[in-house]
Chain A
Amino acid sequence: MKQVWSVIRREYVERVKTRAFILSTLGMPLLIIGIMAVVGFVAVLSEQSERQIALIDLNGQLGERVQQALDRAGYDVELAAPGTGTEELDQQVLDEELEAYIVLDDTTASEAVFAYRSKEPPGGVRSQLMRAAIVEEVVDLRLGQLEDGESVRRLFQGGSLEYEPVGLDEEEAEEAEAERITGMITGIAGGIILYIMMLAYGAQTLQSVLEEKQSRVVELVISSLRPWQLMLGKIVGVGAVGLTQVAIWIGCVALLASLALPTLIAAASDFEELAQFRQYLPGPGAVLLLVVFFLLGYFLYSSLFAAVGAMCRNLQEAGQTQAPLIFLIIIPFMLQMMTFQGNNMQWMNWVALFPFFSPIMMYPRAVMGDVPAWMVAVSIVLMALTVWGSSWVAGRIYKVGILSQGNRPSPRELLRWIREA
């Protein structure tokens, strides 16, 4: 057992030290934040204009309202004095004194169609913001002229579904709703994490086995270790690296929720709604269940990935050979994506019982409360049995495979390996 521990430590330490791990662990959140920052910055930057935008109101009703609306949208707009001609403004644009000007006329007042006169077309953000600002003012203006304007306005706001719980008081109903949303978020996030982990770290196990086999270091190792000890150490070591990565990511989210969020809310009261975000964070039960599904799913797949690595001579061969395993991971993910969109097909619950699909399909169902508890329990038992069986098979393939330098075995040879190992 001490030796397995040495293998685990080597696998873990050597992997965590690599630049690839540090980059992917810290880089991923930084990259996401960075992309968001850059996108926002570029959008803001493109909207900053040193030159003026003017507004000319030929209709006489909209001028000031639109100016204020555009001001709220972040544009510094000057309302041209009444009687200013478009020729004059055109000349200013040509002389580069003005960047652009907007013409509000009778069609604008009735249909929110307006002219934007400039040497260059407006950017996507600008045309979106200006259109929204002006159409809102026009709708407001038109509704103000109607007798039942207020009720029409409410219609425009999209109506409202008012849920009236039967047999529950209001407080309980709110709790149930929060729980549902929590389950949804946890289910989606958990499903994606499981998917990524099994795919990425399964592949790393394969790579690790293949490296040892290719560099021929394995025979030096195997004279002191039983093959299963080496395989187990490898799987646990790589898995621990994966858990470390997820823990760091979850830690980042927790940090964000507990530190960054209150600061943000304190700074800008507009973000107050974000406070609700915290009440949707998953409870310890859901996290524990995630760990159980992760362990079972990871062991199931990584032992098979290890066997594939032992069967092959190089990465190209391994790429082809691992295809069935990759499909086994991708298919449930796609099925799950279908049902995430509220496509509630009961028979999918039975599909989720298939042990190779369970991590990705059963976990979200369990935390969303879509399946009865007994089904979750059965699924865990089935997975445990499958892990036991598949690791037995994988262990035997591994034992023969790591020392074989010959061709990739045919299915029949593979059966012989399993029987005779």
Chain B
Amino acid sequence: MTQNGTVVRLSGVRKTFGAHTAVDDFDLAIEPGTIYGLLGPNGSGKTTTIRMMMGILLPDGGSVELFGGAPDFARRSRVGYLPEERGVYEKMKVLDQLVFFGEIRGVGRSLARTRAEEWLERLGLSEWASKKVQALSKGMQQKVQFISTVLHDPELLILDEPFSGLDPINQDVLEEIVLEEKERGKTILFSTHLMEQAERLCERVCLISRARKVLDDDLKELKRRERTGVVAVEFEGEAPPVATWPGVSEVEEAGDALHLTLRDGVPTDELLAKVAAEGASLRRFELLEPRLHEIFVRHAGEPAEDDASSRTGGVS
């Protein structure tokens, strides 16, 4: 599938609910074929942003573009949207339900049935096809919801907290499918408050805190830029007295390894040379990349669940 131009573009978007500002002065551009993560704690404005992309909410200011135009009905039908607040028709049979969702998304009845069966097979739910949805576990229901968003083979997947509530095994299954869809040329935007998940999957991330965008960058680029000069080292045998070395400002034990924080401007080569000079033999020497969580905290303060809490962290 070929896609040209920006898939989603938000410019200066703002949304308020009464006195509460849910999203403020928000810019975002998603290029085709990427996996984009929208990260932030609960209540930071992720869902509101996504709802505006889907035309469910109208912004109070700024503009929202989907496939280069207003998020009208025709454009929205090219999106597979898994809302955060999602439910099922509990009393319907699994396959009937999926066929219904296929139909309202414009897929013919028989094609919808074929695709639904394929997906059920793929997610190991075939034997449940003629069971009522209420007989399924929460995790299985979530898989059914996911299938219902991809039945019409959309170009863009917008998944709001797709992994919440899934056990680790099913999280892996879903991650795998998300990656496969990307391989097939789809653009994927998902929101999550789980930083590790985002770290594994995303090519690009946008961090939101308290209604505002904090960071928006390529993940690798971001990590490179955010390096803090911490080196993890492990020695064979006795460790040399690293704490006394001039280039090292701080030493922290982490299991078998030592995390050395280098003083500003001290290159790693200097540290390596020092190790060689001491005659110590290395088992491991690694420049540590910051975790996404640390980057987030560094830029936005501890993720606050409560929006009413005072604004402590600022945008750097």
Q: Which of A42-50, A160-168, A222-230 contacts B (4 or more CB under 8 A)?
A: A222-230
Q: Does A323 contact B (CB under 8 A)?
A: no
In contact, B100 and A217 (Cβ under 8 angstroms): no
Chain B hits for A216, CB < 8 A? 83, 85-87
- Interchain CB contact under 8 A, A14 and B103: no
- B87: chain A residues at CB < 8 Å are 212, 215-218, 220
Pair A6/B104 contact, Cβ less than 8 Å = yes
CB 8 Å contact bits of A1-20 with B (1 = contact, 0 = none): 01100110010001000100
Judging by beta carbons under 8 Å apart, are A220 and B73 in contact?
no
Do A217 and B88 contact each other (CB < 8 Å), given the known contacts A3-B103, A6-B100, A225-B104?
yes
Known: A14-B91, A226-B73, A403-B56. A221 touches B85 (CB 8 A): no
Contacts of A220 in B (CB 8 A): 81-83, 86-87, 101, 145, 148-149
Nearest chain A CB to B215's CB is how many angstroms away?
Answer: 28
Give the number of chain A interface residues (Cβ < 8 Å): 22
Considering the chains assembled together, what is the distance between the CA atoms of A226 and B56 in angstroms?
A: 10
Contacts of B68 in A (CB 8 A): none
Instruction: Enumerate B93-150 residues with CB–CB distance to A below 8 Å.
Output: 100-101, 103-106, 145, 148-149
**Chain A residues whose C-beta falls within 8 Å of the C-beta of B92 in the assembled complex:** 10, 14
Contact of A223 among B56, B90, B91 (CB under 8 A): B56
Minimum Cβ distance to chain A for residue B130 (Å): 13
A227 vs B87: C-alpha distance when bound (angstroms): 17
Do the beta carbons of A14 and B89 come within 8 Å of each other? yes
How far apart are A215's CB and chain B's nearest CB, in angstroms? 4
Query: CA–CA, A312 to B56, complex, Å?
Result: 19
Interface residues of A in 177-220 (CB under 8 A from B): 212, 215-220
A18 and B92 CA atoms in complex are apart in Å by: 11
Q: Which of A54-90 contact B (CB under 8 A)?
A: none
Cβ-closest chain B residue relative to A4: B104
Assembled-state Cα–Cα distance A20/B161 (Å): 37
Q: Nearest A residue to B91 by beta-carbon distance?
A: A14
* Residues of chain B within 8 A of A403, CB atoms compared: 56
Measured CA separation A225–B77 after assembly (Å): 9
Interface string of A241-280 (1 = CB under 8 A from B): 0000000000000000000000000000000000000000
Contact residues, B161-184 vs A (CB, 8 A): none
Closest to B77 in A: A224
For A221, the chain B residues whose CB sits under 8 A away are 101, 104
Q: Mark interface residues in A96-114 (1 if CB within 8 Å of B CB, else 0).
A: 0000000000000000000
Residues of chain A lying within 8 A (CB to CB) of residue B104:
3, 6-7, 221, 224-225
A219 touches B105 (CB 8 A): no
Q: Are the C-beta atoms of B100 and A219 separated by less than 8 Å?
A: no
Task: State in angstroms the CA–CA spacing of A80 and B207 once bound together.
Answer: 107
Nearest-neighbor residue (CB-CB) of A7 within chain B: B104
B211 contacts chain A at the CB level, 8 A cutoff: no
Q: List 19 A-B contacts (CB under 8 A).
A: A2-B106, A3-B103, A3-B106, A6-B100, A7-B104, A10-B92, A14-B92, A212-B87, A216-B86, A217-B86, A219-B83, A219-B86, A220-B87, A220-B145, A223-B79, A223-B83, A224-B76, A403-B56, A405-B85
**Which 7 residue pairs spanning A and B have beta carbons closest together?**
A217-B87, A216-B87, A215-B87, A6-B103, A219-B83, A223-B81, A216-B85
